[in-house]
Structure 1
């Protein structure tokens, strides 16, 4: 089965593009949501996180202690790298199991903001990058995420792979720049993947 990765910077429009593929009947693996699920349910990962970050990594009820973990990794690149080194391999395993279960789908999509940073691209047959210029993304994000400042958004962007690099590495680009219609771009790629 064809495995298509979909990435793009924050505010580029990955979610809306994925929703369009879902309307066309294509299963989409949401890496962020699944990473949260895996951190909560994968026994091996829970043991590894507890060993790495201490007994406070999980609450007495067994739930991931997100504020505690966030506090440890926020502005600490070494601790963040340690967290990612534990979580990303378990998410890759989860994706493979999920993809194998999608037996009636012609292909699957994996949405991941950190497609390259997490090495998830290595599991994919092709990569789509959703692109929007920075000023368009900033406007969308300030409207969508009212709790975030422009400085907050720029800090998130600075931690993601450069847009030029994403574009250079992409097999396909969907332009979500408020100038071009995205539905025809999605439909054209869908037809291409069906005939692959």
Structure 2
């Protein structure tokens, strides 16, 4: 069974992904793999350089800061970049998933709704948190300004819109409560995969 774990920036997807991994669930971090593929695939490097210019790579390394500054306030460029990067990541994930020996696997991915990728999954888990808390988390984690965080949030769908298309919602405010929710959900998913 293929399960998506998604949520807006600062919702705590990665924290929850680690909780599932600790329960023995294979977890694929799309963001990390996308960066690896963007750094190692000649085809991707060429396409990204054509889209964003030579500065997209510095000393043959992915210039993450330059890229995020180039696309975050430019929805068209962001969409074009996603169109280049998402298909190879999807392909890589499918290969990875078929090699796992588990009742279900999780793909942690930030934007499955925005790029119409949600139909690919058997179940979708949405992670939410109050906007104020999400902003505080990202400011603390990335050293970004509140304006930068809000600009990134504006490129993502609202939680309300995502909830309508999600099978499960975890509100991630208190980690103790979240851990219990994850364990309960893990049992639900194990039962579902046994039935399918």
TM-score range, shorter chain: 0.7 to 0.9
Query: In the alignment, what sits opposite 1:178?
Result: 174
Query: In the alignment, what sits opposite 1:124?
Result: 121
SS in 1 for 2:5: strand
SS in 2 for 1:181: helix
Judging changes above 3 Å, is the alpha-carbon distance between structure 1 residues 67 and 130 closer, same or farther for their aligned structure 2 residues?
closer
Conserved? CA contact 2:26–2:102, under 8 Å: yes
Matches of 1:56 and 1:169, distance apart in 2:
38
Query: In the alignment, what sits opposite 1:20?
Result: 19
**For 1:11-55, what per-residue CA distance to the aligned partner results, in whole angstroms no more than 9, with x for missing partners?**
211111111100100111111111101111223322322343445
Task: Quote how far apart the aligned CAs of 1:97 are.
Answer: 1.1
Matches of 1:177 and 1:171, distance apart in 2:
19
Conserved? CA contact 1:92–1:120, under 8 Å: no
Within the alignment, does 1:163 sit opposite 2:159 as a pair? yes
Q: Which region of structure 1 is more displaced relative to structure 2, 170-179 or 125-134?
A: 170-179
Conserved? CA contact 2:16–2:182, under 8 Å: yes
Task: Quote how far apart the aligned CAs of 1:79 are.
Answer: 1.9
Conserved? CA contact 2:75–2:155, under 8 Å: no
Task: Quote how far apart the aligned CAs of 1:126 are.
Answer: 0.6
Conserved? CA contact 1:5–1:128, under 8 Å: yes
Q: Which region of structure 1 is more displaced relative to structure 2, 31-40 or 49-58?
A: 49-58
SS in 2 for 1:106: coil
Q: TM-score, normalised by structure 1?
A: 0.87
Unpaired stretches in structure 2, ≥5 consecutive residues: none
Unpaired stretches in structure 1, ≥5 consecutive residues: none
Match of 1:78 among 53, 76, 79: 76
Aligned residue-pair number: 192
**For 1:116-149, what per-residue CA distance to the aligned partner results, in whole angstroms no more than 9, with x for missing partners?**
123332221110001111122233333434x222
CA RMSD of aligned residues (A): 2.1
Conserved? CA contact 2:73–2:151, under 8 Å: no
SS in 1 for 2:61: coil
Matches of 1:124 and 1:36, distance apart in 2:
22
Within the alignment, does 1:11 sit opposite 2:7 as a pair? no
SS in 1 for 2:62: coil
